[in-house]
Amino acid sequence: DSRLSESRSLFERALQVVPGGIYGHTSPAAGLPGIFPYFAESAEGCRFTDVDGNQYLDFMCGFGPIVLGHQHPEVEEAAARAKAKGNLFNVPSRGFVELAELMVQRVDFADWAVFAKNGSDVTTWALQVAREATGRKKILMLKGAYHGIDAWCAPGYGGIIEEDREHIHRFEWNKLDSLVGMLDSLRDQVAGVFVTPYHHPSFAASEMPENGFLTKVQAECNRRGIVIILDDIRTGFRLHAGGSHRRFGFEPDIACYCKAMGNGFPISSAVGRDSLKTAAAKVFLTGSYWNNADAMAAAATCLTIIERDKVPERIEAIGDRLCRGLTEAAAKHGYVLQCSGPRAAPYPFFEGDQNLRLAQSFCGKAVRKGAFFHPHHNWFLSAAHDEKSIDEAVAIATECLREMSEAGEKA
């Protein structure tokens, strides 16, 4: 397949100088080896080009950060203007205070905000705030949830010792009994409970909260003096301009954001209630690049546009068009394809496709035809996806499904 020859040759070079060549969630082993491009060259709007010059409609948006579309002019300009004055000083810039004010104004329960660079920075910091505030050790999280690369929660086992997770316990999504049982048996030892706004594991369909699950989790935490931490890194500000909890009707004590905050500029944030402000001030937080002025300006502009242009509503509508198109095309060719999760970040799956064979075949064919679909991670839509690009993607999907059906592919 000469389509990826430059990607391959760069990967060979990377293998010489980088452990594993490419690591993490974009390593070839984590996607569709030999089908996904290994390296990107450029991107604009809802499309990107790989190093071989192949163009793709982008349905992953850099795994989430690109919420307005690649190279959004207003965000780029705000960042460039801030950077022109110098980007990293011995002390934060004015934009730091302005962004904190904006976060507190935007997120209804928030009385304060802090900033860092990656999602993991703020989830791990929030864990420490919960321990500092309660004087307790135990942390509960959902089975199958991802909260970052730190030892307490990383999905891999390399370099991790039992003691790293000695005080981490996992309960089950949508099963209040599993949480309550654990809280009862751990008595007064639980500092914090991590939740996500909906369940978005990899390799499995997303699950929305049922029967007020999160409201009940909140009530249990409130009653027992446990800090409830919302990890809203995956879809924060993509589902609702005020944070995803607004869509699901509950209120955490701390929320962590990252991906959609800066439209690609590196920034993350934790926000919280007044009652946790003293504890928050005691937990050390810093970093070489924590106060970059361009990322702060990009985030302020991005968050302003998300509200001004009703971006979550737009993305949901365009995602709905995509999901309906995929489901209808599949039905026409004898497959049952459903989109789980929110329309703005759907996880499409084929009914009965236990080992993901159909998903891999479908996404593999689509990528070769220029629609970058992922077989086992939720997709991401952006404000740059318009009806034309969705219809183009649905046409590609239809062609893939026709080929699969003709070849007799079954789950």
Query: Smallest distance, Å, CB 121 to ligand PMP?
Result: 7
Pick 148 or 209: Cβ nearer ligand PMP:
148
Pick 164 or 392: Cβ nearer ligand PMP:
164
Which secondary-structure segment (H or E) carries 268? strand 268-272
Beta bridge partners of 138: 190
Pick 233 or 239: Cβ nearer ligand PMP:
233
Query: Smallest distance, Å, CB 306 to ligand PMP?
Result: 18
Query: Smallest distance, Å, CB 406 to ligand PMP?
Result: 37
Q: What residues line the site for ligand PMP (CB under 6 A)? A: 118-120, 123, 146-149, 196, 231, 233-234, 258
Pick 54 or 235: Cβ nearer ligand PMP:
235
Query: Smallest distance, Å, CB 148 to ligand PMP?
Result: 4
Pick 54 or 196: Cβ nearer ligand PMP:
196
Tell me whether strands 47-50 and 112-116 are parallel, antiparallel or unpaired.
unpaired
Sheet strands (E) in 120-223 = 138-142, 168-171, 190-195
Pick 123 or 382: Cβ nearer ligand PMP:
123
Nearest alpha-carbon partner for 231 in 265, 196, 261, 268: 196
Nearest alpha-carbon partner for 113 in 290, 310, 288, 312: 290
Six token digits for residue 326: 């995929």
Query: Smallest distance, Å, CB 220 to ligand PMP?
Result: 21
Query: Smallest distance, Å, CB 248 to ligand PMP?
Result: 15
How far apart are the C-alpha atoms of 315 and 259, rounded to whole Å? 15
How far apart are the C-alpha atoms of 294 and 410, rounded to whole Å? 50
Pick 36 or 146: Cβ nearer ligand PMP:
146
Query: Smallest distance, Å, CB 235 to ligand PMP?
Result: 8
Tell me whether strands 138-142 and 190-195 are parallel, antiparallel or unpaired.
parallel
Pick 196 or 269: Cβ nearer ligand PMP:
196
Pick 79 or 258: Cβ nearer ligand PMP:
258
For ligand PMP, the nearest residue by Cβ is: 119
**What strands lie across the sheet with 371-372, from one edge to the other?**
40-44, 47-50, 55-58, 371-372
Six token digits for residue 300: 């302020």
- Per-residue burial over 203-242, b if 16 or more Cβ lie within 10 Å, else e, is eebbbebeeebbeebbebbeeeebbbbbbbbbbbbbbbbb
How far apart are the C-alpha atoms of 371 and 363, rounded to whole Å? 8
Nearest alpha-carbon partner for 146 in 227, 201, 198: 201
Query: Smallest distance, Å, CB 145 to ligand PMP?
Result: 7
Query: Smallest distance, Å, CB 266 to ligand PMP?
Result: 9
DSSP structure class, residue 235: T
Number of neighbouring beta carbons within 10 Å of residue 18: 11
Half-sphere exposure (CA, 13 Å, Cβ side) for 88? 7
